[in-house]
Every structure is written in C-alpha cells, then in structure tokens.
Amino acid sequence: MSGHLDVRRISATGEGSAVREGEGQGEGLCMLIDTTTCIGCKACEIACVEWNDLRVEPEYAQRVLDSYQTMPDMTPSYWNLIRFDEVPVGADRKPLAPEAAAEGAAVQWLMRKDMCMHCAEPGCLIACPAEGAIVQYTSGIVDFAQEHCIGCGYCMTGCPFDIPKFDPVSRRVYKCTMCSDRVSNGLGPACVKACPTGCLEFGSKGEMLERARRRAGQVRAEGFDGAGVYDPPGVGGTGVIYVLHHADKPELYGGLPRDPRIDPQLRLWKGPLKVLGGVLFGLSLAAAALHYLKVGRRRVPEAREARERRELHEAREPHEARAEGAAGREIVRYTLSERAVHWTVAFTFLYLALTGLGLFTPKLSWLLTLLGGGQVAREWHPIVGCVFTGAVLVQLLRWLRDLTITPGDRLWLRRIRDYMAGRDAQVPPSGRFNAGQKLLFWLQVLLGLVLLASGVPIWFPEEIPRWLRLWAVVIHSASAVASILALILHVYMALFVTQGALRAMVEGKVSEEWARHHHAKWAEEKLRE
C-alpha cells in the first residue's frame, strides 16, 4: 500500500494541470467492501466517528427506531453508515418485487457500508467553483479542504451518489476523506482496521479488483447467479468497490445507483456553457468598441430657434448665460422614487454579476475575495437576487403603461439599423421609451424571474431533488450570461452613445431639445402638461 499522497491538480477547477511526481501515482488505492460477509456490527461506523472526531446526532438517529440502521442517512458529522435492507427472494435466491412476494416468502438481509466512493472522475470536483476546496490525490482519494470551502453546495449537485452533506452551522460541506491523514502515513483507513470479519480490505486498485472478482465467482458458485463487482465505469471507476449478491440490481442496497455517471447537464455547465459565455462577453465588448469607433456619441442637434435664442442671450448677458444656460427649458424625465428604484436595480445587479461570475468559474474567484470572500458571497448572492427581482418588478408596475409595445414600436424596430448607425432622422419618433429600450427591459424582467426561479433549487440544495438542481444550475448560468450581455448593451448605450442619458438618471431632468430628439412623442405630452 502506498504511503504517499500528492495532490493531482485537476483541483476544484476541473481543468487540470500537472501531476506532481511521487509514489502512488500509478493505478491508485482502493477499498474493497465485501457485502456478502458483512455482519452489520457497525465497528466501522464507530471507528470513523472516533478517528475523525465526529458525533452522532441522537435526534436524527431516532427517526429509524424501527430499523437496525444507525441513522436514516449520513450527515455532515457522520460519514460512514451501514444500510440495512430486507429483500424478499424466491427459491432460486433471486430478489422478488414486493408485490410479487408471497406471504411468508424468504427474506434476505442486505447490508452495505455507505460512504464516499472516491470516483476516478469526481462529479463533486468538476462542479466545485472554489479553487482548492476539493482535491484529488495521486492515490485517487478525493478530499475536501474545508478552509477553502465556500458552502455553495455545487458538489452536492455534482455527486451522483448523493454523498456530500451541508452543515448549516459551519456553512461548509463534509464527506468521508478515506482517512487521508492515516493513508499518507502508511496506515489504512480506520474503518478497515476496525472490521472484525475482514469484509473490508484496502490496497492497490488492481489487487482489490482481482480479489473482488474472485470472491464474486465464489458467491455465484453458491447459487447467487447475479453476484458481481460494483465498479461503475460512468465515473471512471471508483476508489470503493463492492462485492454484491445481486450486482445486477444494486439499487436494492440502500439505493446504490445502477449506472452512476457525470451528468450531461454538469458537463454542459462546466464545459461549453463556460466557454460560450466567455466568448460572448468578449465579442460584446469588441462589438461595442467597434461601434463607438465607427458611429461615436449620439449628440442632440440644436434646434434653430433655440440656437438663436442662446446666441442672443449670450450677447446681452454673457455671464448670466454661462451660469444659467439658455438652450431651452428642462423637462423632468425621472422622479426621485424612479431613480431610487433604478439605482437599486443597477447596484444589486452589479453585485450579482460580480459574485455570479466568481461562482461561475474559479478563474474569476478573485471577485469573491474583493466582495468579502466566498462564504459571504454565497450567503448574500441569493438575498441580493431577491432584492433585485423585487426592484425590477416595482419598475415594471410603475412603467407598465410606458412599456407597452405599440404599432409605432414595430415600425421603429424595422428602422433599428438606422438607429444603431446614428441616422436618427430616419427613425420614427418614440414615446417615453423607444422600442429597443422596451424589449431590453422586458428581457431583463423575464431573465430576472428565470434567475430567481432557477436560483431557489441552488439556494436550498438539501431540500430540492438532485435532477432539478442539475437543470437549475444550467438554466441559471445561461440566463445569467444573457442578462449580463443585456447589461453590457444597456450600459454602453447609456454611458457612451446617448449623450445626456446618464444625467437624466442622476439628476432626473433633460433639456427640451434632448427630449424632442430622442423621445418626440413623450416630449410633446410633457410640454402639453
């Protein structure tokens, strides 16, 4: 058995780099669990608790008083659990469906030591966004570095065995470490040392597989035709393998997955979606820069009457003209409450975008550090998200009449190329908001609701089924990318293209010429008031 543990830097990024030289770098280590000789004594449970200084939770354990099982499931402080299942079997020793089992049918007691499987391709590691929070040693052991854990729960979503457990007190996630501290010093895991029947063995993967296959053959010779070795290839094989009486029906053993694998949603989320998001962000910034160089700022041409009035005023009262200006009266575009809601939306979205990008890829985890750290961001991100969605809905209620799509807006959209090229004279007059602004706002409302709905399963990983969380992270990430792209467009148009737009949202006022030029219909309505 290897006594050396080096970190394989697939690390929490799932993107990998070099493997350090060292013993144990070959086929890796493995624990063999022979369920056919397990007597359910729970010595391994006690050894795990004592060595890792864990604790039993009596109030949780009481939920299974009608079973020999210690607790209904593993917890953040209980990493190793013997699961007990009674299965009716026929005369041929094959399991029967409960409805097909006759009264008084024979029952087989199946026991399985449940723990982290230490997959060769760990879903938890692929999903984790925190650099260094999950590491895989050259021995194959997958370990959690709690000092780097931010409690996001993504590892829980990525694990097909439902192993990692979230601790609401420390706000971190825990699981079996395969006693990596013991193994690194040449000792085996505590549970293996404590097993009195020898159903637990620990050594090289090749040796353990050979022993497991030999034992499975013996069990088949005893009349269990379905006996075999559980070493699922969908996760690249595991560092924990089982000998099962019924390897063709592993779900009988406490819900052991039949064909666990890295889910396609996880691969999409951490692969193409991440790459596509980065490409789209880069293209949007490049497009904005090229547009600015070609078209420049959209300036308001001064009306002839206003220009003559200004020139006459400057000739008569130059000092007063400079102090007060004489380019026409000003119009209130946004009230104080409207501006307050808008800036609430703006600042909450900025926080969500920065923290979301930090959670999206470890390459941007420094953003989390700037905003108080990963755990702080994980706590506040969903709360701020609720505030953002609420503020957007307040805006919608206040501006609903102004945001209604009209026939004039459809004509405006047909002229959008003229608008983007700066040929404003070719664009139909618009109301308080032009068609582009309306569509952008409706898009943000829709994306805000989708982000909130998809964020809830991510926010409460222990209460939401895993299949729903897998889809939620994909939808949430894709919606966030779309929302940030819309924000880039909005900020570019407001700050760099439309001169006076920022002043309107800061001071609440615009000049008469600005209003007539950009929103002629609305200007006429305001001037008639």
Q: What is the pTM of this model?
A: 0.86
Higher confidence at residue 57 or residue 325? 57
Cβ burial of 83 (10 Å; 0-12, 13-18, 19+) is buried
CA–CA separation, 57 vs 439, rounded Å?
Answer: 54
DSSP string, 80-115: -EEEEEEEEB-TTS-B--TTTPPTT--EEEEEEEE-
In this prediction, residue 323 has a pLDDT band, given cuts at 50, 70 and 90, of very low
Q: How many Cβ atoms are within 10 Å of 427's Cβ, its own excluded?
A: 22
Q: Which of 107, 109, 147, 118 is nearest to 130 (CA)?
A: 147
Determine contact, residues 143/134, Cβ cutoff 8 Å. yes
pLDDT at position 304 over 70 = no
Determine contact, residues 183/141, Cβ cutoff 8 Å. yes
pLDDT at position 19 over 50 = no
- The CATH classification number of 7-258 equals 3.30.70.20
Percentage of residues in the chain having pLDDT higher than 90: 74
pLDDT at position 112 over 50 = yes
In this prediction, residue 14 has a pLDDT band, given cuts at 50, 70 and 90, of very low
Q: What is the pLDDT of residue 9?
A: 39
Q: Give the CA angle between residues 523, 527, 529 to the nearest 5°.
A: 120
Average pLDDT score over the chain: 87
Q: What is the pLDDT of residues 364-385, one digit of tens each?
A: 888 999 999 999 999 999 999 9
Q: What is the pLDDT of residue 425?
A: 87
Q: Give the CA angle between residues 263, 480, 459 to the nearest 5°.
A: 65
CATH class of 272-295+336-528: mainly alpha
Higher confidence at residue 321 or residue 202? 202
Region 423-448: mean pLDDT is 94
pLDDT at position 258 over 90 = yes
Q: What is the pLDDT of residue 327?
A: 45
Determine contact, residues 175/116, Cβ cutoff 8 Å. yes
Region 133-148: mean pLDDT is 94
Lowest mean pLDDT among 133-142, 290-299, 305-314: 305-314
In this prediction, residue 387 has a pLDDT band, given cuts at 50, 70 and 90, of very high
Diameter over CA atoms, the chain = 113
Q: What is the pLDDT of residues 28-61, one digit of tens each?
A: 999 999 999 999 999 999 999 999 999 887 766 6
Q: Name the active-site residue from 148, 246, 476, 490.
A: 490
pLDDT at position 288 over 80 = yes
In this prediction, residue 326 has a pLDDT band, given cuts at 50, 70 and 90, of very low
Q: At what angle do helices 407-414 and 435-459 cross, to 10 degrees?
A: 100
Beta strand extents in 426-508 (DSSP E only): none
pLDDT at position 308 over 90 = no
pLDDT at position 136 over 80 = yes
Q: What is the pLDDT of residue 96?
A: 80
Kindly report the backbone phi and psi dihedral angles of residue 195, in degrees, each rounded to the nearest multiple of 5, phi listed first: -65, 125
Q: What is the pLDDT of residue 131?
A: 87
CA–CA separation, 335 vs 356, rounded Å?
Answer: 31
Residue 490 falls in the annotated catalytic set:
yes
Q: What is the pLDDT of residue 16?
A: 34
3-state helix, strand, coil in the chain (%, to 5): 50, 10, 35
Lowest mean pLDDT among 19-23, 245-249, 373-377: 19-23
CA–CA separation, 158 vs 369, rounded Å?
Answer: 24
Distance of CA 137 to the CA centre of its chain: 25
pLDDT at position 324 over 50 = no
**What are the residue ranges spanned by the domains of the chain?**
7-258, 272-295+336-528
